Amino acid sequence: MIYTVTFNPSLDYILDLTEFERNQVNRTTGEKILPGGKGINVSIVLQNLGIDNRAICFTSGFTGEALKALLMQRDMNADFIDIANGLTRINVKMRCGDETEVNGQGPEIKSEDIAELYEKLGYLDQDDYLVLAGSLPDCMSKTTYMDIMQMLQYNNNKIIVDATGELLTNVLPYHPFLIKPNRTELGNLFGVEVTTMDQAEVYAKQLQERGARNVLVSMSYQGAVLVTEDGRVIRAAAPKGQVKNSVGAGDSMLAGFLAGYIERDDYEYALKLGICAGSASAFSEELATKEEIDTLFQTQMA
């Protein structure tokens, strides 16, 4: 079983506009509300690919109830930790030529809420995967992901971390099975700009030397680079297509990679399926379906 944890989920309120003018009344040409948060996105795409998983997420207030309803409509296997005060955040994404995002802060997660999470994670066994993905509310420590890995270090779970900055670097001594920075996040860790596959390989290997078992670097339209724990470097180009929506593409890549790895225990196949999943979501208005992912794989990657 794959478990995902989303500390700061959201309702993603997506607005389409033909133009946007400051200090004026602007009207949309289309709008929709989708469940959001990196771990939730991973779980949705895993479910689309037929992979059993459970999404654990923190929710609060009437927006939290709306998020629960959206996930139940999708028949998600979800496990909610209800926070007494605050509201699940709303992230506004305006698409008017370019894409502009305004993300909410989220509720305050307290020690008793974390204790409830720890209780749930205590039931994981050594065959389970755990995905720790996304940002944390400002009230939480940058050691939170590390603390979880420390608690589970003797369980031999495969733990995947998709995070930025200290949240990511703090977990490296606990040897996560996989980390997945994109090229911008990778560059920020080292104070450089990563623009080529060769650069990505160099810095991915440095993260591996610091403890990560496998490092997957998403390179946007270029594809991805995977540095594996058995010493290989695998590169794959991205499929061709028209980008409609970048939200969730990286999460979809991670879901596709995990699905491929579980299916065949083959890093090269997992990377290709991951890239197809990420691209299929980017080419769609919502997160990719199995049919969309399979079509890209069969036509451009097989």
Residues with active-site annotation? 251
- Long-range contacts formed by 32-35: CB under 8 A, 24+ apart: 33/66, 33/70, 34/70, 34/286, 35/9, 35/10, 35/11, 35/67, 35/70, 35/71, 35/74
DSSP H or E segment with residue 91: strand 89-96
Tokens of 245: 């929506």
Contacts of 23 by beta carbon, 8 Å cutoff, 6+ apart: none
Tokens of 281: 């979501």
Contacts of 234 by beta carbon, 8 Å cutoff, 6+ apart: 225, 226, 228, 267, 268, 271
Taking alpha carbons only, the member of 253, 295, 260, 302 closest to residue 277 is 253
Query: Cα–Cα distance between 75 and 5 in angstroms, integer?
Result: 18
Query: Cα–Cα distance between 264 and 72 in angstroms, integer?
Result: 30
DSSP H or E segment with residue 2: strand 2-6
Ramachandran bin of 259, using left for φ above 0, alpha for ψ from -120 to 50, beta for the remaining angles: alpha
Which ranges of 193-266 does DSSP label H, i.e. alpha helix? 197-209, 249-264
